[in-house]
Copies of this chain bind each other. A is one copy, B any other.
Amino acid sequence: MYRTHTCGELTIKDAGKDVTLCGWIQKSRELGGMTFVDLRDRYGITQLVFNMETNPELCREARKLGREFVVRAKGKVRERSNKNLKIPTGEIEIEVSGLDVLNKSELPPFTIEDETDGGEELRMKYRYLDLRRNPVKNNIILRHRIAQEVRKYMDPIGFIEVETPFLIKSTPEGARDFVVPSRMQPGTFYALPQSPQTLKQLLMVAGFDKYFQLVRCFRDEDLRADRQPEFSQIDCEMSFVERDDVLDTFEGLAKYLFKQIRGIEFSEPFLKLPYQQAIENYGTDKPDLRFGMKFTDLTAIVKGHGFQVFDNAEFIGAISAEGCSEYTRRQLDELTDFVKRPQIGAKGLIYLKYGTDSSLKSSVDKFYSGEELAKWAAAMNAKQGDLVLILAGEKTTTLSALSELRLEMGNRLGLRKKDKFVPLWVVDFPLLKWDEDEKRFFAMHHPFTSPKPEDIKLMETDPGKVRANAYDLVINGTEIGGGSIRIHDADVQKLMFKVLGFTDEEANNQFGFLLNAFKYGAPPHGGIAFGFDRWVALLGGQDSIRDFIAFPKNNSGRDVMLDTPSAISDKQLDELMLEIKKGKKN
């Protein structure tokens, strides 16, 4: 062993000890005849001291150390005269008597400090240096801790972690697969799993009863910001359960993680909000409930007064922003610009100011009397000092625009605090969604999601109305996990495929192994999958997942550190019997 201690553990109690430390040179400074060097490792920073008077040779050596050199230093622990009480080792320093440079370092391309001068691309290219920085390092350690805690919760309650295969079969339904050409059977391919969905269902057929896995998944999608082609899931499935058994089990996991990682206790059960209500109240199936501003439907109240925008609208909805009645023209213009951005797409914004002096002022005063406006305020439950913001138009897009406006107001009013967490279950999702292009229904989740038993009768008469026995865990406006009770009844499964427009042959081609398995005694079962990267980022108090992944890919799916994807040799292509097409993609 090169060292006796780490750079994070020596305190005043160790004064007088002879120690050997190893680490990287964080920085050094000269002060009078002394050289002070901060030595850093994963565990902390310890100050090394060299004295020009007592040991000039060693001190001269120390002065040659550059940033990020790797050294081993021997010496004696002593109390510091100038204590730094911000760090655990800040009361001591090492009076160095021996120094070895274990490795030199070129000048790093950015500073290895909590706040770095490195840009995104540079940090990605030199990820191994970026990982030396506390914020990134701590994220990865947090990820480790959470992974261990997940297992500490799952294992004692009987869940078996089963490793499912990565080289599986490509299925065209769902997102796009990454494929892996087979050399032994040229012209054929494996696919990397988008999730172990069908495999975990097979484990239920196999009688495993309770399964989980912390597992990598792959999706070859055009990347949006903060999406990764490979990502990790906490994947879970249980047998002989109904919906609330699953929710209870994983609400337990969520509460356990909040407790262990953040010290937060949730004593109350999480809210269960039906999808339809989430949409009507918040315009989204992942509402951020850290703050209120529930929508009010003003359609009936505001129509029929000659204001065309309202009179022609399918839906008029509003939120009330507390204490914002004094918003200036400019602030209101900003909000109007915000909702008119193409990605939000509202035509305009109507407001009603309920002044602290009880005055009611709106942007459509000429169409509505004070009495009418008072009705609006009453419908909104607005108080003096509130600002009512109103959007109108086609219902779906207006609800969605109002949702964005609500979040924007939440941001402006500081209501979306990083250290506040409001989890809820969104339940009763629609089973199917209509695709206008293909003129057919698609499964909202996947074709094995069970309809709610009471809605099965609608499957053939009004499929769009059928609710799924599906659920999402939403925290602070982010979907952290989702799942469903699965279909285990062959007749219901047949009906599902029929509604999706699958022939028996198509169903068998794609899911034959699962449908076959279901013939041999499938138990009722259901499960959930959590986005592990998201969970970790959330518990780490950040929005972006990227710095919670040791070696992430950039937005083009490239690993700029490894410089991949990259060309492979002709020999490799030949072995796989593959040719690369010339020219551009259509």
* Residues on A facing B (Cβ under 8 Å): 1-3, 6, 22, 24, 40-43, 68-70, 72, 102-106, 108, 126-129, 131-132, 137, 140-141, 143-144, 147-148, 151, 155, 160-170, 172, 176-192, 199, 202-203, 205-209, 216, 218, 220, 222-223, 229-230, 232, 239-242, 245, 488-489, 512-513, 517-524, 549-551, 553, 556-559, 561-569, 572, 574-581, 585-586
Contact = CB atoms under 8 A, between A and B. Distances in A.
B241 A2 contact: yes
Contacts of A574: 585-586
B24 A521 contact: yes
12 contacts: A131-B203, A167-B229, A167-B564, A169-B562, A177-B572, A179-B180, A180-B180, A187-B580, A188-B565, A188-B568, A512-B563, A513-B561
A161 B148 contact: yes
A579 B576 contact: no
A209 B566 CA distance: 30
B106 A520 contact: yes
A206 to B, nearest CB: 4
Given A220-B183, A581-B579, A163 B550 contact: yes
Please state the number of chain copies in the assembly: 2
A390 to B, nearest CB: 42
Given A240-B2, A572-B170, A523 B22 contact: yes
Choose among A128, A169, A205 the residue with the greatest number of B CB atoms under 10 Å from its CB: A128
B517 A128 contact: yes
Contacts of A488: 102-103
A105 B520 contact: yes
A103 B522 contact: yes
Contact of A489 (B103, B178, B568, B585): B103
A128 to B, nearest CB: 4
Nearest to A43: B209
Q: Which of A206, A245, A517 has the largest number of chain B CB atoms within 10 A?
A: A206
A230 B576 contact: no
Contact of A202 (B128, B202, B239, B572): B128
Given A168-B562, A577-B581, 14 more contacts: A22-B239, A24-B521, A41-B209, A108-B520, A128-B203, A137-B206, A137-B208, A148-B155, A163-B216, A169-B559, A176-B575, A187-B580, A202-B551, A513-B561
Contacts of A563: 169, 512-513
Contact of A166 (B42, B166, B199): B166
Contacts of A72: 240
Given A102-B523, A206-B129, A550-B162, A240 B575 contact: no
Contact of A580 (B103, B216, B578): B578
B520 A585 contact: no
A585 to B, nearest CB: 6
Contacts of A137: 206-208
Given A181-B181, A568-B189, A203 B550 contact: yes
A103 B521 contact: yes
Nearest to A148: B155
Nearest to A185: B565
B179 A572 contact: yes
Contacts of A41: 207, 209
A184 B70 contact: no
A244 to B, nearest CB: 9
Given A129-B520, A520-B68, A566-B189, A184 B556 contact: yes
B182 A180 contact: no
A131 B524 contact: no
Contacts of A186: 580-581, 585
A523 B103 contact: yes
Contact of A1 (B144, B240, B572): B240
